[in-house]
């Protein structure tokens, strides 16, 4: 008994000091019952799905792309499976996905982890694609071996299309990561969908094709939840600056404005400090300059907070400005600018959605589904307050709604950074 305990203790220590504690096999549950396809539902085209010799087999059929989808929806999880082509055909696995009707057929949309077919998509396995039925912003490659920390050349060669391949997909909070045969392929940050079904795709094709999946197992993780920051008309959970005016109507829409004779910024500020999180807000610009502060630190200056500002100002939205304060923030001014991309997706006079994700040193901003900034900043503040701002010394007017925050726990951050 003493030898067994000693071995277990040493094994645990090795796992901890390696920086990653792997989940035990019994933490994962099979997505199949080992007999048939109960618990799954087919959507889209007319491919044939069957359960044979411990495998789900997908064979090309007539019509559009076909998907075998889980009846259950999943939020945060780690999915593992093996797959192999019997005959080349394009394929993929849907993540956090949904379905809508288009006439008399069902259309699956959401994130997809690509599986190569040995042909035109040979170097795409493990990449993430957005399927959104013609949406010019989201219907595109989301992460094509451009993941932070990924080796593009190694990742593009990880999949062996004539052999069995092992996939691992991790969805945690505002992130999706993929590995093919142990090689990191995608590391995508987004908040469009935090929960949905999983689907196995057989792509439409003019030639016969067949793919099989086996060992589909999933480890469910605690779900991520958006928490609203606009809670009542009195803004009782927020600090309101003396400058600027903020009024909420019965539908939860906040009208905010300030005038050029006000020297200090107008601001709505959270009482709480956030370390790792995603925050998002919908806004409509009437005029002037605004921003969403994050990881902000209190200062007795015109800006009220020192730290990062996620810019809101037509062509500059999503770029990062930093308010400097000696002994708190040593830098100041533009830290990252991406005006060209912002100008393409900004909607003048309409509602826009701006999001920021901050996990450790990783900072990501997203405007209307389009990534504006994504970089590592070791010098950034690691925690602070959130705030909405109206720029001082200018005539500024905006509408805001649906300001929300999603916190990332330490356990989630460890998974995101592994």
Q: What is the 3-state secondary structure (H, E, C) of 41-65?
A: EEEECCCEEEEECCEEEEECCCCCC
Looking at the structure, tell me whether residues 193 and 306 fall in a common domain.
no
| pLDDT the model gives residue 315 | 87
- 85, 119 Cβ separation under 8 angstroms: no
Looking at the structure, tell me whether residues 50 and 147 fall in a common domain.
yes
Looking at the structure, tell me whether residues 234 and 162 fall in a common domain.
no
Looking at the structure, tell me whether residues 294 and 182 fall in a common domain.
no
Looking at the structure, tell me whether residues 270 and 215 fall in a common domain.
no
Domain boundary among 221, 241, 265: 221
What's the pLDDT tens digit per position in 13-24?
333 333 333 444
Q: Phi-psi region for residue 250, left (φ > 0), alpha (ψ -120 to 50) or beta?
A: alpha
Average the pLDDT over 105-126 and give the result.
82
Bridge partners of 30, per DSSP, are 217
The alpha carbon of residue 330 and the mean position of all alpha carbons in its chain are separated, in whole angstroms, by 30
Q: Which domain holds residue 406?
A: 227-417
7 in any annotated domain? no
Looking at the structure, tell me whether residues 373 and 255 fall in a common domain.
yes
Looking at the structure, tell me whether residues 157 and 247 fall in a common domain.
no
Looking at the structure, tell me whether residues 156 and 282 fall in a common domain.
no
Looking at the structure, tell me whether residues 181 and 166 fall in a common domain.
yes
**Three-state DSSP class for residue 343:** helix
The pair of structure tokens assigned to 244 is 């600027």
Q: Domain containing 182 — which CATH number?
A: 2.60.120.560
CA distance 381 to 314: 26
pTM: predicted TM-score of the whole model, two decimal places: 0.89
pLDDT band of 121, cuts 50, 70, 90: low
Q: How many domains does the chain have?
A: 2
What's the pLDDT tens digit per position in 337-377?
999 999 999 999 999 999 999 999 999 999 999 999 999 99
CA distance 38 to 129: 28
Looking at the structure, tell me whether residues 121 and 170 fall in a common domain.
yes
The label of the residue with tokens 């992130």 reads: 175
């Amino acid at each position: 008994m003493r030898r067994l305990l000693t071995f277990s203790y040493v094994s645990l220590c090795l796992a901890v000091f390696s920086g990653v504690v792997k989940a035990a096999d019994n933490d994962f549950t099979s997505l199949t019952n080992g007999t048939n396809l109960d618990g799954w539902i087919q959507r889209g085209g007319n491919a044939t799905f069957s359960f044979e010799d411990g495998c789900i087999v997908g064979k090309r059929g007539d019509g559009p792309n076909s998907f075998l989808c889980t009846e259950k929806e999943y939020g945060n999880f780690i999915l593992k499976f093996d797959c192999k082509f019997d005959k080349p055909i394009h394929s993929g696995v849907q993540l956090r996905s949904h379905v809508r009707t288009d006439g008399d057929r069902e259309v699956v949309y959401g994130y997809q982890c690509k599986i190569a077919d040995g042909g035109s998509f040979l170097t795409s396995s493990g990449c993430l694609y957005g399927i959104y039925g013609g949406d010019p912003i989201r219907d595109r490659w989301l992460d094509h071996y451009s993941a932070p920390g990924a080796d593009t050349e190694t990742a593009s060669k990880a999949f062996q299309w004539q052999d069995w391949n092992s996939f691992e997909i991790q969805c945690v909070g505002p992130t999706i990561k993929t590995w093919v045969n142990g090689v990191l392929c995608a590391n995508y940050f987004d908040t469009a969908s935090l929960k949905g079904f999983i689907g196995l795709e057989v792509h439409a094709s003019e030639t016969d094709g067949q793919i099989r999946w086996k060992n589909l197992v999933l480890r469910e993780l605690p779900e991520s939840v958006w928490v609203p920051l606009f809670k009542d008309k009195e803004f009782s959970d927020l600090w309101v600056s003396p400058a600027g005016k903020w009024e909420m109507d019965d539908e939860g829409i906040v009208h905010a404005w300030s005038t050029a004779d006000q020297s200090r910024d107008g601001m709505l500020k959270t009482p709480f400090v956030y370390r790792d999180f995603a925050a998002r807000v919908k806004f409509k610009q009437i005029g002037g300059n605004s921003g969403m502060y994050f990881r902000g630190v209190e200062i007795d200056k015109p800006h009220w907070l020192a730290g990062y500002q996620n810019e809101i100002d037509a062509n500059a939205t999503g770029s990062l400005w930093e308010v400097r304060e000696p002994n708190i923030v040593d830098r100041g001014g533009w830290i990252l600018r991406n005006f060209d991309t912002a100008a393409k997706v900004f909607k003048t006079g309409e509602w826009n959605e701006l999001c920021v994700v901050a996990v450790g040193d990783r900072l990501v901003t997203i405007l209307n589904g389009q990534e504006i900034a994504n970089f590592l900043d070791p010098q950034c503040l690691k925690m602070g307050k959130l705030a909405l701002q109206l720029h001082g010394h200018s005539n500024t007017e905006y509408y805001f709604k649906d300001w929300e925050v999603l916190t990332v726990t330490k356990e989630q951050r460890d998974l995101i950074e592994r």
